[in-house]
Structure 1
Amino acid sequence: MKIILKNFKLLSVFLLVIGFTSCSDDDDNVTTPATTTVIDVALENNLTSLAAALQATDLVTTLQGEGPFTVFAPTNDAFTQLLNDTGLDLDNLSTAEEALVKNILLNHVIIGATVTSTDLVNAGSGYTNTAATGPNEANLSLYYTTSNGVMLNGSSTVTNADNTATNGIVHIVDEVIGLPTIATFATTNPALSNLVAALQLADSGTPTVPYIATVSDATAGPFTVFAPSNDAFADLLLELDPSGNTALGDLAPATVDAVLTYHIVSGNVQSSGLPNGTVTTLGGNITADNTAFTLTDPNARVSNIVTSLVDIQSINGVVHVIDKVLLPMQ
């Protein structure tokens, strides 16, 4: 890593000398505006570990390009923690390790937009896509919230925002943003808390699959999950008991397990690939309408796919939020 850092610093000095030389050309009185790329901004903020990782994965040239780029740049301490946790050595990466580190770094980059902290705060919370890829080369999603500072995927917080560059913007974050799993997005979005509770309840019995472990496993799948919203679960409980006296925890784990299987499909099916007709879930067949954007369970109950919450892409599958819980044949 020392060799990488030394070479990167020499490269920076060389680029700086070239800049001064071009500005002092006696044959041309036109002053060329200084170019400060997102790489330069990272170096100005002493993010040497990020710089070393970018060089080790051949991403320096990419981020010196036209952009625009939004970069969430981890601190040196954040990178040290990552290397300690994973045992990776930037000076001695295997081909597979280099690909992994490169994808992790790209998970900190939004290409084609300069997203300021004000943009994020005004949006409140939501999803965007990073340059990292998952199954079928689909770009991974990034979930942001702003109720207590800008937080990414529920763990990484922006500590120094809006460092501008000529080809984008850099926000410094206190933790490396790992490649998200389905569990990442289920547990970080409060609108899916009932789904998480249902997965845990099913796991307490004898589940068809160990749900929490499976959706948390980056090497599992990929799967497509039709994720009922909290309101969808609330409506189901009233459907089952109009008196309103039944809570999710009152249901038998086996019952919840049978229900959940109708929301999981093998393979990574984004909304653009949703068929018009039969979809085979782990529990049985449901019917999709890719024009009306609906799913129909075996009881002819129709659920709308929430168009603003589709294609939430993780490393082990994709999530589409729906507004009604699908049920097995009654």
Structure 2
Amino acid sequence: MKTNRLKQFALIAFMALGLTACSDDDNNNAQPDNTIAGIASRTTNLSSLVAALNRAELTGVLSGSGNFTVFAPTNDAFAAFLSANGFADVNAVPVPVLRNLLLNHVIGTEIASSAIPPAVYVSTLSPINSTTGAPTISMFVQKIGTTVTINGGASNGGTTVATADIDASNGVIHVVNNVIAIPTVVNHVVANPQFDTLQAVVTSGATGAFGDQSAVLAALNGLTAAAPATVFAPDNAAFTAATTGTGFAVGATPAQVSRVLQYHVTVAGNVRSNQLTNNQSIPMITNPVQNTTVILGSGTVDIRDTANNLARVNQADVQCSNGVIHGVNRVLQPQL
């Protein structure tokens, strides 16, 4: 009997050791979390991002299924953001503010750096308000050589990619050296080189070629999420045509230039292209108010001015925090 008990004890001990060994093997063979959230949690220089994701309750999104592109700010980038905005740490940032800011760094598709064209607008996951189905903020991505710049770079509230193409099971991470601010109308005008002339006109000083347009700039800077505007933004070629040769704005006085600029901003709020209707009359912020007219074609949107000219919308729905921009190929002509 004693011998049998010893055999039974030895057998139990052996089985216990075997189970322990199997458990250890299972732990050793466990696959690492290669989701975006998992990789970030193992990257020392992204610990502030991880803390921010946890506070904003977004870790689950970036550790789940899907295909995302995340522009991930470094710890130094977060430290600079917190200092500039008077926050002691990530926990001091209000959760709604932090959540929208972080979502402004996320795109709902996977985009490798090699797939980025010279210039493109993409939609982030950051909504403009809490309304169900609200439009999301646009991001302007530009690539020159191997350098990828977001929203015009750090000086314009954007950033530059420092380390590209960290592959994850649910997307890709591009490490960036600045926290990306949610862009305003003015930010998006500055970011896109196709609006360089518009920027030059709006920022023209008293001694500039277009006279002092500071009042127009102040009006654009004064737009808010609660009181947004829609801007029809002429590209560089459009301004060249209007201000040279037989262009209607040749020789315009500063006051007339102001009226031309005002004639590209509607008081109707944040009007996206799918909200425009054929023959819709849109009041602009000229004083007195002058209207433009929407002309819808088969897949086209044109804006008719007071001189019966048509400006084609060639870049629709650039969504900003305080309004939306529609790029057009002609400077709209008001009654001067």
TM-score by structure 2 length?
A: 0.80
Instruction: Summarize the alignment of residues 29-48 of structure 1 with structure 2, pairs less than 5 Å apart.
Output: 34-46=32-44, 47-48=46-47
Partner of 1:7: none
> Kindly tell me: are residues 214 and 99 of structure 1, through their superposed partners in 2, closer, same or farther at Cα, counting changes over 3 Å?
farther
Q: Does 1:117 align with 2:113?
A: yes
Q: Which gives a bigger RCO, structure 1 or 2 (Cα 8 Å, sep 6+)?
A: 1
Distance 1:202 1:299 in 2: 28
Partner of 2:215: 210
Paired residues of 2:293 and 2:304 also in contact (CA < 8 A):
yes
Q: Does 1:146 align with 2:143?
A: yes
Q: Does 1:133 align with 2:127?
A: yes
Partner of 1:301: 309
> Kindly tell me: are residues 202 and 328 of structure 1, through their superposed partners in 2, closer, same or farther at Cα, counting changes over 3 Å?
farther
Q: Does 1:327 align with 2:333?
A: yes
Partner of 2:244: 238
Distance 1:206 1:124 in 2: 33
Map Cα deviations across residues 100-121 of structure 1 (whole Å, 9 max, x no partner).
111110000011x11101011x
- The Cα shift of 1:240 comes to 3.9
Distance 1:21 1:161 in 2: 38
Paired residues of 1:215 and 1:316 also in contact (CA < 8 A):
no
Paired residues of 2:48 and 2:90 also in contact (CA < 8 A):
no
Instruction: Summarize the alignment of residues 52-63 of structure 1 with structure 2, pairs less than 5 Å apart.
Output: 52-63=51-62
How many residues were matched structurally?
293
2:230 corresponds, among 206, 213, 224, to 224
CA RMSD of aligned residues (A): 2.6
Structure 1 unaligned residues grouped into runs of 5+: 1-19, 26-30
Distance 2:65 2:54 in 1: 18
Instruction: Summarize the alignment of residues 143-292 of structure 1 with structure 2, pairs less than 5 Å apart.
Output: 143-147=140-144, 149-155=147-153, 156-201=159-204, 210-217=215-222, 219=224, 221-238=227-244, 240=246, 251-266=252-267, 267-277=269-279, 278-283=281-286, 284-291=290-297, 292=300
> Kindly tell me: are residues 163 and 23 of structure 1, through their superposed partners in 2, closer, same or farther at Cα, counting changes over 3 Å?
farther
> Kindly tell me: are residues 168 and 259 of structure 1, through their superposed partners in 2, closer, same or farther at Cα, counting changes over 3 Å?
same
> Kindly tell me: are residues 325 and 239 of structure 1, through their superposed partners in 2, closer, same or farther at Cα, counting changes over 3 Å?
farther
Paired residues of 1:268 and 1:317 also in contact (CA < 8 A):
yes
- The Cα shift of 1:69 comes to 1.0
Distance 2:304 2:223 in 1: 30
Report the identity percentage.
33
Task: Provide the secondary structure at the position in 2 that maps to 1:49.
Answer: helix
Amino acid at match of 2:95: E
Paired residues of 1:225 and 1:263 also in contact (CA < 8 A):
yes
Paired residues of 2:37 and 2:59 also in contact (CA < 8 A):
yes
Amino acid at match of 2:242: L
Paired residues of 2:233 and 2:328 also in contact (CA < 8 A):
yes
- The Cα shift of 1:57 comes to 0.8
Partner of 1:9: none
- The Cα shift of 1:35 comes to 4.0
Distance 1:34 1:235 in 2: 58
- The Cα shift of 1:129 comes to 0.6
Amino acid at match of 2:311: S
- The Cα shift of 1:274 comes to 1.2
- The Cα shift of 1:92 comes to 3.7
Map Cα deviations across residues 171-229 of structure 1 (whole Å, 9 max, x no partner).
1000000000111111111111111122123888676x833234345636311000011
Distance 1:101 1:235 in 2: 44
Amino acid at match of 1:24: D
Paired residues of 2:223 and 2:323 also in contact (CA < 8 A):
no
Greater Cα radius of gyration, structure 1 or 2: 2
> Kindly tell me: are residues 217 and 86 of structure 1, through their superposed partners in 2, closer, same or farther at Cα, counting changes over 3 Å?
farther
TM-score by structure 1 length?
A: 0.81
Partner of 1:91: 91
Distance 1:219 1:45 in 2: 37
Partner of 2:9: none
Paired residues of 1:157 and 1:174 also in contact (CA < 8 A):
yes
- The Cα shift of 1:151 comes to 0.7
Amino acid at match of 2:98: V
